[in-house]
C-alpha cells in the first residue's frame, strides 16, 4: 500500500547519506545536524501516465520530491499517502499523457551543430526551432536559394557556408558556378553526406588552396581533388579539415549550433542523450560542455569513448588511456565509465556492409576495422570488463562480431556483459538466436528500412534482404532487449518518429516492408525509454516512472501505445519534466512537432544514390567507407584544434 511513501522517500535519502558517511568516516550525527526538513512534494496529475512498471503500468498521478519520483497512483491515493508531508497538486498536465523521458540513444552533437549553424539548402524541408526551411527540389531552386543566401549576408567579408547540396537534384556545382553567385565573398558548400565540398575562387584564395598546396597532400588525397572545379572529397577534403573548418565556423558559431542542437532535441521530447564513439579530443569535449553541461540544460548527455581511435593510437595501453577521458565531462555531461565503442563493417547508406551473400551487382563491402585489429581491440576491452558497443551493419559483419563474442565468452565468461550490436541493417534469423544465447542486445535504426527499403530491394540487396532490414520483430519475439537510435544527422533525432518507423515499417512509397518485422507499440516505447536506458546501464536511474528514479517525463498530447499506429509520429509534444523541472517547449508546437528533415521521395533517392558515391570514393579512401562516423571523427579532431 501507499502508506506514507513520502516519509519513506526521505528516509531513503537519509540512508544513502549515512552509507556515504560510513564510507568517508563522517559521523552520522553531523549529517543529522545538517539535514534540512523534507522538501515539499509536487503531485503531477495527468490524463494518463504510462509508467512502464509491471506493478502499476498506468496511473493518473505521480509524486515528486526534488529530482526523484516518490510515488505513483491516483490523486486520492497520493493525498492519503502524504500524511503530514507538505505537497502541492500541479494540474498542468491534466489533459496530457506522461511517458518516461524519451532517450536519444545515439546521436552526434558536433556534426549536428555544424549542420544547424549553416545555411541549409537541402532536398527535404527542414523544421527548425526558428522556423521551416523549404526544400530546394531542383537545380533552379537551389541556385536561386544560394543567391538569396548571399544577398542576405550583411557583412561583405562573411563566408557563405551552406550544407545540403546533392548533385542528383541540384545539378552540377563548380568553382565557376559559385563565382557567378559572388566573386568577392568566400563560398563553401558542403555536400549532404559531409564527405564532399565545393568552393569558389575567393574561398580557395582565403584558405591558400592552390596547386602547390594540392601537391603537398598525400597521394591518395591528391586523387580525390579537382582544383579546377573547386571540388574536394573524402581524403581530398579530410586531409585539410582544420583549414576548412576555419572558413565555415568559429567557436562562437559552433557554440550557437550546439545551442540549436540542444533546443532541437528538447523540442523532440528528449530527456537524456548519448554519443557512443564520442570523440577523442579533450578540447572538443570542453567546447561541447560549454553548452551541454550547465545545470539548466534540458537533458544529460553521456559520451562513450571511441575505442577504435584509442586502441589504434595506444595498442598496448588502450584501457589506461580510456580512463584518462573520464574527467572530461562536467555538470550535465559525462564520459561513461567502463563502456567503449568499436567498429566492424562499412556503412549501410553506401552499401559497404559486409554480407554473407554477394550484392546484386557483385561489388563487395568493406571493413572499418580489419578483422585482426577488431579481435585484438575486442579482447583488450573485454578483459578489462568493459561493455562494448559495436557498429555493425551486414550479416557477415555480424558473424565476425558474434564469433569474437563467443570466443571471449568461452575464454573468459562474463555475466551481464551487455554487448550492444549497433545499427544491424542486414541480419539473419539464426544470428538473432545466436546473439540471445551469447547475451548480446541490439540497438537498431528503423529509419534505414523506411528510407532505403524500396531502393535496396532493387539495387544491391534484393527484395528479401531489403524488406527484412532491421529485423526488430524477430528480436522482440526472441525476448532480447533492443533500443532505437537515429545517428543524427543521418536520421532525424526524433524518438517518436523512430517508434513510428518501427511499428509501421512503411517505406516512402507507402508499402509495408517485412510486416513480420514490425515492433509492437509497447516494445517501441521501451526502445526509446527503458530499454534505451538498459543499453547504457542507466536503467536504475531512468527509463520508467517508478519510485526512486529520476523524475524524467515527456509530456505528450496522446498515448503512443494506444493511438492508431499511423499517428504516432504526429503526436504533439508539450515539453518535458527533467529531474523534477517543468520544461515547456518555447514555441508553438503543433501536431507536426518533430524538428529536423521531413522525409520524402527525394530523401529516399538521395540515400540510394549514396551507394554510387560510396563506391566511387571508397577504393581511394578505405578508412571512410561512406560512414558518417568517419566525418564526425575527422571534423571533431579538427574542431578540437580550433582556438
Backbone Cα Rg of the chain:
25
Average the pLDDT over each of 248-252, 528-532, 544-548, 580-584 and give the range with the smallest value.
248-252
29 is a domain residue: no
> Among residues 543, 577, 606, which one ends one of the domains?
543
Q: What integer pLDDT is reported at residue 511 of this predicted model?
A: 95
94 is a domain residue: no
Residues 528, 630: one domain? no
Q: Long-range contacts: 406-413, Cβ < 8 Å, 24+?
A: 406/434, 406/438, 408/378, 408/379, 408/382, 409/438, 409/439, 412/382, 412/383
443 is a domain residue: yes
Q: What integer pLDDT is reported at residue 239 of this predicted model?
A: 79
Residues 243, 344: one domain? no
Q: What integer pLDDT is reported at residue 253 of this predicted model?
A: 85
312 is a domain residue: no
Q: How many domains does the chain have?
A: 2
Answer whether residue 526 shows pLDDT above 80.
Answer: yes
Answer whether residue 314 shows pLDDT above 80.
Answer: yes
Specify the CATH number for the domain of residue 633: 3.10.310.70
Average the pLDDT over each of 26-35, 277-286, 478-487, 546-555 and give the range with the smallest value.
26-35
Local structure of 189: helix, strand or coil: strand
d(CA 232, CA 199): 9
pLDDT in tens, 461-509: 999 999 999 999 999 999 999 999 998 877 778 999 999 999 999 998 8
Specify the CATH number for the domain of residue 519: 3.20.20.140
Average the pLDDT over each of 68-82, 163-177, 367-381 and give the range with the smallest value.
163-177
Residues 117, 214: one domain? yes
Element (H, E) at 233: strand 231-233
Q: Which cell goes with 251? A: 567557436
Residues 519, 427: one domain? yes
> Among residues 508, 543, 578, which one ends one of the domains?
543
pLDDT in tens, 264-278: 999 999 999 999 987
Nearest of 387, 448, 454 to residue 421 by alpha carbon:
387
DSSP conformation class of 554: E
Beta partners for residue 199, in sequence order? 188
Residues 514, 383: one domain? yes
60 is a domain residue: no
pLDDT in tens, 346-366: 878 778 889 999 999 998 888
Task: Using the structure block, give the residue that is written with the C-alpha cell 557477415.
Answer: 396
Residues 229, 368: one domain? no
Answer whether residue 590 shows pLDDT above 60.
Answer: no
d(CA 10, CA 267): 33
pLDDT (mean) for 431-442 = 98
Q: What integer pLDDT is reported at residue 348 of this predicted model?
A: 82
199 is a domain residue: yes
Residues 344, 449: one domain? yes
Answer whether residue 7 shows pLDDT above 70.
Answer: no
pLDDT (mean) for 2-10 = 53
Domain extent, residue 632, equals 109-251+624-640
DSSP conformation class of 513: P
Percent of the chain residues topping a pLDDT of 70: 86
Is residue 479 packed enough to be buried (19+ CB in 10 Å), middle (13-18) or exposed (0-12)?
exposed
Q: What integer pLDDT is reported at residue 346 of this predicted model?
A: 84
Q: What integer pLDDT is reported at residue 603 of this predicted model?
A: 54
Longest dimension (CA), the chain: 80
Average the pLDDT over each of 57-61, 159-163, 636-640 and give the range with the smallest value.
636-640
Residues 228, 359: one domain? no
Between 488 and 152, name the one with better pLDDT.
Answer: 152
1 is a domain residue: no
Residues 396, 536: one domain? yes
Task: Using the structure block, give the residue that is written with the C-alpha cell 530527456.
Answer: 271
Answer whether residue 25 shows pLDDT above 70.
Answer: no
Local structure of 295: helix, strand or coil: coil
* Structure confidence at residue 605 as a pLDDT band (50, 70, 90): low
> Among residues 513, 543, 573, which one ends one of the domains?
543
| Arithmetic mean of pLDDT over the chain | 87
353 is a domain residue: yes
Is residue 555 packed enough to be buried (19+ CB in 10 Å), middle (13-18) or exposed (0-12)?
buried
Answer whether residue 409 shows pLDDT above 50.
Answer: yes
Q: What integer pLDDT is reported at residue 238 of this predicted model?
A: 78
Amino acid at each position: 500500500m501507499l502508506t506514507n511513501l513520502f516519509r519513506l522517500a526521505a528516509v531513503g535519502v537519509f540512508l544513502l547519506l549515512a552509507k556515504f558517511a560510513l564510507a568517508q568516516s563522517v559521523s552520522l550525527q553531523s549529517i543529522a545536524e545538517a539535514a534540512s526538513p523534507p522538501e515539499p512534494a509536487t503531485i503531477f496529475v495527468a490524463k494518463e501516465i504510462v509508467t512502464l512498471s509491471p506493478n502499476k503500468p498506468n496511473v493518473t498521478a505521480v509524486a515528486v520530491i526534488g529530482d526523484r519520483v516518490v510515488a505513483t497512483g491516483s490523486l486520492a491515493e497520493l493525498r492519503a499517502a502524504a500524511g503530514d508531508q507538505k505537497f502541492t497538486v500541479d494540474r498542468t498536465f491534466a489533459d496530457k499523457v506522461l511517458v518516461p523521458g524519451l532517450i536519444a540513444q545515439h546521436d552526434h552533437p558536433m556534426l549536428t551543430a555544424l549542420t544547424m549553424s549553416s545555411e541549409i539548402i537541402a532536398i527535404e524541408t527542414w523544421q527548425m526551432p526558428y522556423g521551416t526551411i523549404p526544400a530546394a527540389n531542383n537545380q533552379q531552386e537551389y541556385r536561386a536559394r544560394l543567391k538569396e543566401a548571399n544577398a542576405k549576408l550583411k557583412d561583405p567579408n562573411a563566408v557563405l557556408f551552406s550544407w545540403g547540396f546533392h548533385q542528383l537534384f541540384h545539378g552540377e556545382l563548380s568553382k565557376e558556378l559559385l563565382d557567378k553567385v559572388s566573386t568577392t565573398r568566400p563560398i563553401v558548400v558542403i555536400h549532404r553526406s559531409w564527405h564532399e565540398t565545393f568552393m569558389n575562387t575567393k574561398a580557395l584564395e582565403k584558405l591558400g588552396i592552390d596547386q602547390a598546396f594540392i601537391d603537398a597532400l598525400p597521394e591518395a588525397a591528391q586523387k580525390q581533388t579537382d582544383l579546377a572545379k573547386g571540388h574536394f572529397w573524402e581524403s581530398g577534403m579530410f586531409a585539410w579539415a582544420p583549414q576548412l573548418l576555419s572558413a565555415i565556423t568559429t567557436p562562437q558559431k559552433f557554440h550557437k549550433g550546439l545551442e540549436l542542437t540542444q533546443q532541437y532535441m528538447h523540442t523532440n521530447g528528449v530527456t537524456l542523450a548519448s554519443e557512443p564513439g564520442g570523440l577523442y579530443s579533450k578540447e572538443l569535449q570542453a567546447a561541447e560542455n560549454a553548452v551541454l553541461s550547465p545545470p539548466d540544460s534540458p537533458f544529460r548527455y553521456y559520451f562513450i569513448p571511441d575505442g577504435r581511435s584509442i586502441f589504434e593510437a595506444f595498442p598496448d595501453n588502450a584501457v589506461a588511456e580510456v580512463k584518462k577521458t573520464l574527467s572530461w565531462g562536467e555538470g550535465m555531461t559525462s564520459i561513461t565509465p567502463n563502456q567503449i565503442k568499436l567498429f566492424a563493417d562499412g556503412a549501410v547508406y553506401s552499401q559497404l556492409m559486409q554480407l554473407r551473400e554477394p550484392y546484386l551487382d557483385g561489388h563487395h563491402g568493406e571493413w572499418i576495422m580489419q578483422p585482426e585489429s577488431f579481435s585484438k581491440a575486442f579482447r583488450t576491452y573485454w578483459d578489462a570488463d568493459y561493455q562494448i558497443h559495436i557498429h555493425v551493419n551486414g550479416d557477415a559483419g555480424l558473424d565476425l562480431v558474434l564469433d569474437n563474442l563467443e570466443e571471449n565468452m568461452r575464454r573468459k565468461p562474463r555475466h551481464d556483459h551487455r554487448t550492444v550490436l549497433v545499427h544491424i541493417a542486414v541480419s539473419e534469423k539464426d544470428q538473432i538466436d545466436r546473439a540471445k544465447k551469447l547475451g548480446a542486445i541490439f540497438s537498431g535504426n528503423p529509419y534505414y528500412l523506411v528510407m532505403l527499403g524500396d531502393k535496396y530491394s532493387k539495387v544491391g540487396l534484393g527484395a528479401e534482404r531489403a524488406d527484412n532490414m532491421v529485423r526488430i520483430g524477430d528480436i522482440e519475439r526472441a525476448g532480447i532487449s533492443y533500443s532505437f537510435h537515429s545517428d543524427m544527422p543521418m536520421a532525424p533525432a526524433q524518438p517518436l518518429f523512430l517508434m513510428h518507423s518501427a511499428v509501421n515499417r512503411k517505406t516512402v512509397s507507402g508499402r509495408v516492408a517485412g510486416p513480420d518485422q514490425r515492433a509492437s507499440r509497447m516494445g517501441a516505447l521501451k526502445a526509446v525509454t527503458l530499454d534505451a536506458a538498459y543499453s547504457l546501464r542507466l536503467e536504475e536511474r531512468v527509463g520508467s516512472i517508478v519510485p526512486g528514479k529520476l523524475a524524467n517525463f515527456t509530456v505528450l498530447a496522446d498515448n503512443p501505445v494506444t493511438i492508431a499506429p499511423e499517428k504516432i509520429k504526429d503526436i504533439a509534444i508539450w515539453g518535458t519534466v527533467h529531474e523534477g523541472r517543468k520544461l515547456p517547449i518555447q514555441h508553438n508546437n503543433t501536431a507536426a512537432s518533430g524538428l529536423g528533415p521531413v522525409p520524402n521521395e527525394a530523401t529516399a533517392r538521395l540515400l540510394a544514390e549514396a551507394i554510387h558515391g560510396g563506391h566511387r570514393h571508397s577504393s581511394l579512401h578505405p578508412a571512410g567507407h561512406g560512414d558518417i562516423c568517419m566525418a564526425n571523427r575527422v571534423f571533431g579532431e579538427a574542431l578540437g584544434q580550433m582556438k
